[in-house]
Amino acid sequence: MSLALFIEQLLNGVQFGLMLFLMAAGLTLVFGVMGLINLAHGSLYMIGAFICAGVAAATGNFWIGLAAGVAAAAAAGAIIEMTVIRRLYDRDHLDQVLATFALILILSEGTSMLFGPFPLYLSRPDSLAGTVHLGFGFNYSLYRLALIGFGIAVAVGMWLLITRTQLGVRIRAGESDREMIAALGVNIKALYTVVFALGAALAGLAGALVGSIQSVQVGMGEPVLILAFVVIVIGGIGSIKGALVGALLVGVIDTMGRFLLPRLFDLLFDAGRATDIGAAIASMLIYMLMALVLILRPKGLFPAHG
């Protein structure tokens, strides 16, 4: 195992973690402000990817596609919030899980009706093709490096939004006391729609960006959704900082586990299938991490409300 390969896997882990952060940030905001469990968040990721792929194919320009994907996800988020989600804020978690599970069925099947059952292909933009030299004879994919840049930019942007803007003040106020800010004259309905659309836009951005590394297909949002939930549970639900730390932990541990564990098992045991078993355990690692965190700190690493 060469050092270059190790560093490449580590960067892949960071890149994966930052994309998970884009998903988890919206999920944790929606839970923190509105108290809602949104299983359909993965569908917004899928919508972002599909619209990006469709528009990029039609216009021949990835960036127009990306903008369209983000806008479409935000619009879909706003529409879903105003028609369905709004009715769920006062309901218990069971109703929220069920209604948003129903939304997954509707949005997945709806997408497959519109776009057909076959995966779409979204190629990365020409300007980001190829690799970049990082010193010590080590090359890394320029596109993945750009994803890391996107992730960091969004993280910084979120921090500025939450701490420095009027909207951020309202979001923080909404997290600590919903009734009070409504009583103070903030249009809480509009605030909820904006927060939901913001989360949806981030999910759509993640879907469009990741769509060009993987294939764009119905159901692509579900594995990511579950990982994003793992992230926010580890980080502490409602905390953006927790989402960032949790996402990086999950991204790096998952990627490095899949990379290192099969090799480790191969060294330790000489049974013929040690590598396979190592791989099987590696895919369980992050769920073990989540169970461990919940057992030791039942409210996650960075509990949002005391």
Partner 1 sequence: MDESRKEFWLNAVLLVGLFATPVIAMMIDEPFYVTLATRVAIFALAAVGLNLALGLGGMVSFGHALYFGLGGYVAGIMAHHAFSGMPMVFGLSGSDQMLAIWPVAMLLSGLVALVVGVLSLRTSGIFFIMITLAFAQMAYYFAIGWPTYGGEDGLPILVRNQFPGLNTLQTWHMFLLAYGALVIALAVFAMLRNARFGAALMAIRQNPERVAAVGISPFGIKLAAFVISGMITGLAGAMMADLNRFVSPSMLSWHVSGELIVICILGGVGRLFGPLAGAAIFVGFEVIFGGLTQHWQFWLGLVLLAVVLFARGGVIGIIAGRERHG
**Closer residue to partner 1 (CB): 169 or 222:** 222
Exactly one of 75, 115, 264, 299 binds partner 1 (CB under 8 A); which one?
299
Contact range with partner 1 by CB under 8 A, out of 57-65, 167-175, 206-214, 293-301:
293-301
Contact flag: residue 271 with partner 1 (CB under 8 A): no
Measure the CA–CA gap between 118 and 305, rounded to whole angstroms.
Answer: 44
Query: Which distant-in-sequence residues (6+ apart) come within 8 Å of 47 by Cβ?
Result: 69, 72, 73, 76, 107, 111, 204, 207
Task: Report the distance separating Cα 29 and Cα 195, nearest Å.
Answer: 7
Give SS3 for 218. coil
Residue 234 tokens, joined: 């580890």
- Rounded CA gap, 39 and 26, in Å? 12
Q: Note whether 229 binds partner 1 by CB under 8 A.
A: yes
280 binds partner 1 (CB under 8 A): yes
* Distance between CA atoms of residues 246 and 24, nearest Å: 9
Judged by CB under 8 A, which of 5, 105, 180, 184 binds partner 1?
Answer: 105
Q: Which of 167, 226, 253, 256 binds partner 1 (CB under 8 A)?
A: 226
Asked if 102 touches partner 1 (CB under 8 A), the answer is yes
| Closest C-alpha among 24, 39, 42, 18 to residue 233 | 24
94 lines the binding site for partner 1 (CB under 8 A): yes
Nearer to partner 1 (CB atom), residue 102 or residue 183: 102
> Residue 117 and residue 273: Cα distance in Å, rounded?
36
Per rule CB under 8 A, is residue 113 in the interface with partner 1? Answer: yes
Cβ-based nearer residue to partner 1, 124 or 178: 178
Residue 134, token pair as written in the block: 């990082």
What residue has token string 């009706």? 113
Of 31 and 62, nearer to partner 1 (C-beta) is 31
Helix (H) or strand (E) holding 139: strand 139-141
Please report how close the Cβ of residue 89 comes to partner 1 at its closest, in angstroms: 12
Per CB under 8 A, the list member of 97, 120, 162, 169 interacting with partner 1 is: 97
What is the Cα–Cα distance from 292 to 238, expressed in whole angstroms? Answer: 19
- Work out which of 47, 103, 188, 209 binds partner 1, going by CB under 8 A: 103
Contacting residues toward partner 1, per CB under 8 A: 31, 37, 84, 87, 93-95, 97-99, 101-106, 108-110, 112-113, 222, 226, 229-230, 233, 237, 273, 276-277, 279-284, 287-288, 290-291, 294-295, 298-299
